[in-house]
């Protein structure tokens, strides 16, 4: 206990500033009673899935964070944005999502000179908490629970399933958090990673620090993908992937939203309507597919993925407007809270379903991860992109109906 307190006091003295340092590592000084805290949030608009942020690191998506060896860190997931994003820790990016080792009692650090912890189940591991109560039985921290041997329950199996509960039920369960104390491990000189246990491709790097200096200066192992970088247009809409689907577009009608007020009369609504036009065009073009896989299931998946992406983009765009103002402390039912719940459910649940559907395509139909075909809308010759002829007026009425935009189109495959 005295040694741990000495390590902690030394760390605080050396790490006087919070935030991202010149070495690109974010440190926290939110430290009390031998414990430092990272307050975890999700920026749902930072990419297709969103990325983790930390209050201590500013407005940076998936920052590289630093953890002093031998110091307990608590990753607090109390913010509403954490719903559907239980944090995990691995020795490589994405952990078990990519069949890589996670930080847990029966897994020794790569290259560790002593691997006896594997048999005794005493390897470094996070410990998971619900509303301040530890939900496991393994312990590597005597201040939380007497040290254990032969016990691999570090709480994840009781923690992760709660993030699938409906949002309101999840919020009523209290604060969620995970602690991780990573020891100085001879033979191990790499980085570790944080990631989401439900959504893949959201991993971030953790640099282990010794006397406030990174144990490893290089970034190894690699994160095998680049982070999404929303276009300027998407950043304004709060969406992802719409830049190339702004109207006019060869595969889309000239509008999906009618009677839009002028930008001078209502600039916010005009902008939102433009974003809606683009996301509907994205879905419209995406839902023209081949059937080269020769499978009803594959056709369903190729069609449903852009359908889900549209729902996610539409929800994120409405959140971006900040016109849904939820007061969850209100005594009476708040309809904005009901709508906010719907929006967050669509974003998080359907993004997870998109990943699952892509996984099924990759496993069952590896030759057809996508099967898009280009279908252009015919031009009737007077600059109007519609069905043409005497049915033009009926067509325009049809595409003005949000759920029936595709019903009246005459399409030509090219």
DSSP class per residue in 195-214 = EESSSSS--EEEEEEETTEE
**Pair 394, 312: CB distance under 8 Å:** no
Q: What is the pLDDT of residue 379?
A: 64
- Local confidence band at 19 (pLDDT 50, 70, 90 cut-offs): confident
**Do residues 203 and 238 share a domain?**
no
| 406 domain residue, yes or no | no
Listed in sequence order, the residues at least 6 apart from 404 whose beta carbon sits closer than 8 Å to its beta carbon are: 398
- Binned at pLDDT 50, 70 and 90, residue 414 comes out as very low
Verify that 329 and 195 share a domain, yes or no.
Answer: no
Do both 190 and 271 map to the same domain? no
Residue 166 placed within a domain:
yes
Considering the domain architecture, whether residues 182 and 236 belong to the same structural domain is answered as no
319 in the same domain as 171: no
Tokens (6 digits) for 234 = 């998407």
Tens of pLDDT, residues 190-222:
999 999 999 999 999 999 999 999 999 999 999
For the CA atoms of 53, 55, 59, 62, the dihedral, rounded to the nearest 10 degrees, stands at -20
Query: What is the token pair recorded at 124?
Result: 């470094």
Does 15 have pLDDT greater than 50?
no
Tell whether 118 and 50 lie within a shared domain: yes
- 205 and 288 both lie in a single domain: no
Instruction: Please check whether residue 391 lies inside any domain of the structure.
Output: no
The torsion angles phi and psi of 294, rounded to 5 degrees, stand at 65, 35
Q: How do residues 216-269 score in pLDDT, each as one tens digit?
A: 999 999 999 999 999 999 999 999 999 999 999 999 999 999 999 988 999 999
Please indicate, yes or no, if residue 276 is contained in any of the structural domains. Answer: yes
Residue range 369-393: mean pLDDT, rounded: 61
- Domain annotation covers residue 225: no
Q: Is the bond leading into 77 cis (omega within 30 degrees of zero)?
A: no
Residue 158: which pLDDT band, with cuts at 50, 70 and 90? Answer: very high
List pLDDT tens digits, range 279-321.
Answer: 999 999 999 999 999 999 999 999 999 999 999 999 999 999 9
Backbone phi, psi, residue 81, to 5°: -65, -15
Do 274 and 195 have their domain in common? Answer: no
Same domain? 200 vs 52: yes
Q: Is residue 400 part of a domain?
A: no
Q: How far is CA 69 from CA 66, 136, 184, 338, in A?
A: 9, 23, 5, 43
Cα atoms in the Cβ-side hemisphere of radius 13 Å centred on 365: 20
Residues 330 and 289 in one domain: yes
Residue 121 domain flag: yes
The number of distinct structural domains making up the chain is 2
Domain range for residue 81? 2-214
What integer pLDDT is reported at residue 131 of this predicted model?
97
Q: Are residues 286 and 210 in the same domain?
A: no
Total residues found in the chain within this entry: 414
The verdict on 259 and 366 lying in the same domain is yes
């Amino acid at each position: 206990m005295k040694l741990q307190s000495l390590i902690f006091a030394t760390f605080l003295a050396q790490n006087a500033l919070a935030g991202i340092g010149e070495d690109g590592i974010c440190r926290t000084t939110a430290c009390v009673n031998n414990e430092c805290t990272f307050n975890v949030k999700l920026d749902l608009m930072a990419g297709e899935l969103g990325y983790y942020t930390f209050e201590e690191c500013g407005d940076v998506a998936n920052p590289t964070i630093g953890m002093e060896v031998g110091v307990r860190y608590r990753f607090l997931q109390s913010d509403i944005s954490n719903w559907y994003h239980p944090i995990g820790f691995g020795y490589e990016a994405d952990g078990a999502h990519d069949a890589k080792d996670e930080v847990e009692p029966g897994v020794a650090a790569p290259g560790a000179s002593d691997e006896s912890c594997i048999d005794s189940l005493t390897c470094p591991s996070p410990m998971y908490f619900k509303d301040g109560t530890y939900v496991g039985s393994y312990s590597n921290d005597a201040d939380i629970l007497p040290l254990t041997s032969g016990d691999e329950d570090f709480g994840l199996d009781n923690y992760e399933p709660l993030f699938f509960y409906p949002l309101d039920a999840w919020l009523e369960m209290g604060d969620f958090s995970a602690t991780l104390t990573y020891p100085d491990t001879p033979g191990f000189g790499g980085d570790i990673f944080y990631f989401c246990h439900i959504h893949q491709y959201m991993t971030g790097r953790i640099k282990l620090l010794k006397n406030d200096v990174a144990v490893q200066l290089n970034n190894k192992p690699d994160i095998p993908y680049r982070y999404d970088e929303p276009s300027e247009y998407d950043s304004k809409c709060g969406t992802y992937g719409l830049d190339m689907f702004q109207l006019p577009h060869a595969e889309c009608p000239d509008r999906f939203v009618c009677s839009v007020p002028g930008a001078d009369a209502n600039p916010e609504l005009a902008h939102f309507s433009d974003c809606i036009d683009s996301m509907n065009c994205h879905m419209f073009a995406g839902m023209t597919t081949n059937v080269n896989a020769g499978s009803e299931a594959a056709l369903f998946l190729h069609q449903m993925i852009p359908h889900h992406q549209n729902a996610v983009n539409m929800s994120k765009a409405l959140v971006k407007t900040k016109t849904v103002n939820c007061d969850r402390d209100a005594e009476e039912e708040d309809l904005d809270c009901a709508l906010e719940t719907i929006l967050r459910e669509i974003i998080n649940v359907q993004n997870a379903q998109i990943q699952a559907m892509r996984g099924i395509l990759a496993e069952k139909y590896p030759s057809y991860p996508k099967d898009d075909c280009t279908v252009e809308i015919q031009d009737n010759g007077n600059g109007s992109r519609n069905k043409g002829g005497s049915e033009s007026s009926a067509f325009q009425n049809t595409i003005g109906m949000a759920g029936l935009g595709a019903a009246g189109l005459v399409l030509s495959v090219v």
